[in-house]
Structure 1
Amino acid sequence: MTNDTIAAIATPPGTGGVAVIRISGPDAEAVLKKVFPRDSFTHGQLVYGSIRREGELLDMAMAVLFYAPKSYTGEHTAELHCHGSAVGVRRVLDYVLECGARPAQPGEFTRRAFLNGKMDLSQAEAVCDFISASSRAGAKASLGQLAGTLKKRVLSFQDMLTDALARVEAVVEYPEEDLEEETAEELLPILEKMQAGLLGLADTYRAGRIAKEGLRVVLAGKPNVGKSSLLNALTGMDRAIVTNVPGTTRDTIEQEFDLGGIAVYLTDTAGIRSTDDEIEAQGVKRSENAINESKLAIFMLDGSGEITEEDHLAMRALKKSKADLLVVLNKLDACERLSEEDVKREFGVFPLRISAKTGAGIDTLKQKLLEYAEQDKTAAEVLITNERHVFALRRAADEIGEAIAAMKQGIDMDCVTIDLNAAWASLGEITGKTVSEEIIDRIFTKFCLGK
């Protein structure tokens, strides 16, 4: 229902300095005047006054009214800026509901903004992503989409498809002109470039997902190679207990830190080895689970010793996982007994030498982590952060690929029209022009209440 008036608390629950109640719909002004008596309001101007119910003072507050269509939702929208008392703001909301509004559903304000053409679906989804962003990189990526960068890219692709469709349909409409071969020759490079552009945009999802969700990195290796020391060195805090006793870490320890604006979730694990100790065995099992859940594993070796069967056991566990691998040779400060060439010969990869104890090589390791997180990131303004968008982009690229193949094989242009229309519709699922009601419902139920 978009012809009724809704209301909700738009600020987080609990006690704070200010709490905001948002009201939107055709009767927003009438409801506001009942709750906050005033003859008239000026668009966008905050006014101070009292909220009373049957003479009882509920709060002293600020009120503002935005007239349609110059509001977030595109409807008449009002806000009450109350004191941040959990009890007080609840009483004011109850009064607002008594005066003609109904409780809003999660995401209903933004849904109305989408339905009223204030934003497309990619921008609406970016609102949710921006609110939940856990890092500067995630906030930047979602804010760019909120500003319409993805919308503009998708619309540009749709415009190109519309032009191509016009050319193809002219061939179908006027077969006597015999333009099929000429049109195919002109359109093929355009469609191939478009397909490459769609796939390139979809490929930014890896970097976009890391920006949005953070990078999960696990420290793995046999006991006493310096994993806990490395966690402390990378995060800049004494988060993990460090001793010379193998098996000190019995459980996984996770610590978040910021790396160039990206949230990195670093997990220290129990050393992987065969053990009869029941508690340590559980720690080893949890280590293996942590490896499987991580995007990148840092495999640590002790540069002051030799490669052992326990190192091979840890490497076998890493190879069973889907985690990418970065090999680190620790204890650069100690007497060197293991060289990079030894590691290359044994495991097929050159390691990075560090000392978790003194900090030598840590900055280089951080740079390697940042390069890993940002690989596939292009100079384009847009980073794809939504899996739904990736599927739509790749599906559109596949459908354009079908059209290209049909042209090259000389198949009837009617088939090409079907493929190009399908590609246009796939891109419309990103902007919301061709998306189903079911998908719209699913998207907005993920929003917080009051947004």
Structure 2
Amino acid sequence: MEHTIAAISTATGEAGIGIVRMSGLTSFEIGKKIFKPIKEIDDKNLENRTLRYGHIYDDDKLIDEVLIAFMKGPNTYTREDIVEIYTHGGIISVKKVLDLTLKNGAKIAEKGEFTKRAFLNGRLDLSQAEAVIDMIKAKTDKAYEASINQLEGSLKKDIKKYRDGLLNLLAHVEYSINFTEDGQEELDNSVIIKEGEEILEGLKKLYNSSNRGKIIRDGINTTIIGKPNVGKSSLLNNLAKVNKAIVTDIPGTTRDIIEEYIDIDGVALKISDTAGIRDTDDIVEKIGVDRSLDFAQSADLIIAIFDLSKELDEEDKIVLDLLKGRKAIVLLNKDDLESKLDIDSLNIDENIPVIRISIKNNKGIDKLEETISKMFLQGEIISSNETLVTNIRHQDILGRAINHLESSLNDMKLNIPIDCVEVDLRDSWEILGEITGETIEDDVLDKIFKDFCIGK
């Protein structure tokens, strides 16, 4: 990491300010070369983390009027010398300043390279580094709270505790392997088994939190389905509190998938309004119907809408077939009109909630939101300081570590030779280290940081 990296750290577009960030050995040198302060400053004052006002010049050419901060490592985000230049917002000004840093010796940062350096320099462990991108992508308060909790080291502390426990068990097992043959007293396996089962219970608790964690982090992939004109687009608009979808009395108005994120009790609903399901000769609409069917197959939750004011028809039956074996909610819309639908003829599975609503009169929408919350969180209140596993990589690692630990404990109970027990126990300890980055391959590390944005 000898070279200095630079990148734009703010989003592209019109804004009050833009930020160009440098990190590395020559960041101060480059910063002093391109920045001309209103008042002359010496090197000592550059280190006091004070914003300085001045201008960025390319030789004698004025580039922008800026504020600049020189931050001496190791007390920085990357633990390296960092320079941040606060330019006028917009596309041109920040790009010109970035180009000037590159012209003077910096290299463009790769995706996530600032955070990767923070990890490699020991400021963050890998779970904390991954929490950074989760904070950036958070769409609800609960998702943000879960990621900031992880950034503060909640998962790191738990993993360290369990790895330390496993290391202690390994020391006992190694003692048995190396010394009992010399006449030393054998250790009581029951003590090792008891401590191992306590660790196993803790790991399983973390693993089991991953279902709720995934929902909080990624949201619930939800698809609204139904035949044309049952109220799908109206429901999306009602939940989103904005006219996202076009609503008309003309069947087939919605031809493509319309998506919106909606916050329900701190959980994001990634909700998709799909084309009405029906037979059609319109090629474009038919493509939309086919996509609706595909979305319904992959959704975490299907919201199926039926029109109470009309009798059951073949198009409704196609919708009903899509609900078999799926997590779904059935909405009976237009409850404000005379009912012509024989509800018993729907033959809806008893596990699927059925709610009568009138989207027009905003009736039953609160019941729908309450039902969604109960279905996915089982009414549990998630504490802001509770450790949740929100990352599928962490879930996979925990699952593998649990399997090896269970195998080791079972072997102990069956009095399998102690050296065989040691292999699974050590594997469990090493696998857990992949979460914090203590035992991870370089190619996996590169893949993780490629999910970051440039400049973070």
Matched, 1:420 2:425: yes
**1:374 aligns to what?**
377
Distance 2:58 2:236 in 1: 57
Gap regions ≥5 residues in structure 2: none
1:401 CA displacement? 0.8
1:108 CA displacement? 1.6
1:29 CA displacement? 2.4
Amino acid at match of 1:372: M
Amino acid at match of 2:76: S
Which ranges of 4 or more aligned residues in structure 1 deviate by more than 6 Å? Answer: none
- Contact persistence 1:195–1:400 (CA under 8 A): yes
In structure 2, relative to structure 1, the CA distance for the partners of 1:193 and 1:355 (3 Å cut) is farther
Of 334, 337, 346, the residue aligned with 1:334 is: 337
**1:6 aligns to what?**
5
**2:233 aligns to what?**
228
1:137 CA displacement? 3.0
Amino acid at match of 2:186: L
In structure 2, relative to structure 1, the CA distance for the partners of 1:429 and 1:245 (3 Å cut) is same
**1:401 aligns to what?**
406
Of 73, 77, 81, the residue aligned with 1:76 is: 81
In structure 2, relative to structure 1, the CA distance for the partners of 1:52 and 1:222 (3 Å cut) is closer
In structure 2, relative to structure 1, the CA distance for the partners of 1:343 and 1:120 (3 Å cut) is farther
Q: Partner of 1:447: helix, strand, or coil?
A: coil
Amino acid at match of 1:288: L
Q: CA RMSD in A?
A: 2.7
**1:213 aligns to what?**
218
Deviates more, 1:49-58 or 1:425-434: 49-58
- Contact persistence 2:335–2:357 (CA under 8 A): yes
Distance 2:241 2:82 in 1: 47
In structure 2, relative to structure 1, the CA distance for the partners of 1:97 and 1:243 (3 Å cut) is closer
Amino acid at match of 1:218: T
1:217 CA displacement? 1.4
In structure 2, relative to structure 1, the CA distance for the partners of 1:59 and 1:403 (3 Å cut) is same
Q: How does 1:42-61 map to 2 (within 5 A)?
A: 42-61=47-66
**2:111 aligns to what?**
106
Q: How does 1:186-201 map to 2 (within 5 A)?
A: 186-201=191-206
1:85 CA displacement? 4.7
- Contact persistence 1:377–1:383 (CA under 8 A): no
Matched residues, percent identical? 40
Distance 1:104 1:251 in 2: 38
Of 136, 142, 150, the residue aligned with 1:145 is: 150
Gap regions ≥5 residues in structure 1: none
Matched, 1:179 2:186: yes
Deviation per CA, 1:252-292: give whole Å up to 9, x if none.
Answer: 43333322333323222333344556555434322202212
Could you state the TM-score of these two structures normalised by the residue count of structure 1?
0.89
1:329 CA displacement? 2.7
**2:453 aligns to what?**
448
Deviation per CA, 1:59-117: give whole Å up to 9, x if none.
Answer: 33222222221111111222222222533333333332343333222222111111110
Matched, 1:354 2:346: no
Matched, 1:292 2:297: yes
- Contact persistence 1:344–1:351 (CA under 8 A): no
Q: Partner of 2:332: helix, strand, or coil?
A: strand
1:147 CA displacement? 1.5
Q: Aligned residues, how many? A: 445
Could you state the TM-score of these two structures normalised by the residue count of structure 2?
0.88
Matched, 1:383 2:393: no
Q: How does 1:239-278 map to 2 (within 5 A)?
A: 239-242=244-247, 247=252, 249-275=254-280, 278=283
Q: Partner of 2:331: helix, strand, or coil?
A: strand
In structure 2, relative to structure 1, the CA distance for the partners of 1:19 and 1:425 (3 Å cut) is same
Distance 1:307 1:190 in 2: 60
In structure 2, relative to structure 1, the CA distance for the partners of 1:445 and 1:229 (3 Å cut) is closer
- Contact persistence 2:223–2:271 (CA under 8 A): yes
In structure 2, relative to structure 1, the CA distance for the partners of 1:169 and 1:282 (3 Å cut) is same
1:295 CA displacement? 1.3
Of 95, 118, 122, the residue aligned with 1:117 is: 122
- Contact persistence 2:12–2:90 (CA under 8 A): no
Deviation per CA, 1:230-265: give whole Å up to 9, x if none.
Answer: 333323344445556655544443333322333323
Q: Partner of 2:161: helix, strand, or coil?
A: helix
- Contact persistence 1:273–1:314 (CA under 8 A): no
Q: Partner of 2:87: helix, strand, or coil?
A: strand
Distance 2:112 2:328 in 1: 40
- Contact persistence 2:278–2:315 (CA under 8 A): yes
Deviates more, 1:80-89 or 1:303-312: 303-312
1:24 CA displacement? 1.5
Distance 1:257 1:29 in 2: 45
Q: Partner of 2:359: helix, strand, or coil?
A: coil
Amino acid at match of 1:68: G
Q: Partner of 1:23: helix, strand, or coil?
A: strand
Amino acid at match of 1:398: N
Distance 1:62 1:394 in 2: 49
Of 362, 367, 376, the residue aligned with 1:364 is: 367
Distance 1:346 1:443 in 2: 43
- Contact persistence 1:106–1:447 (CA under 8 A): yes
1:450 CA displacement? 1.7
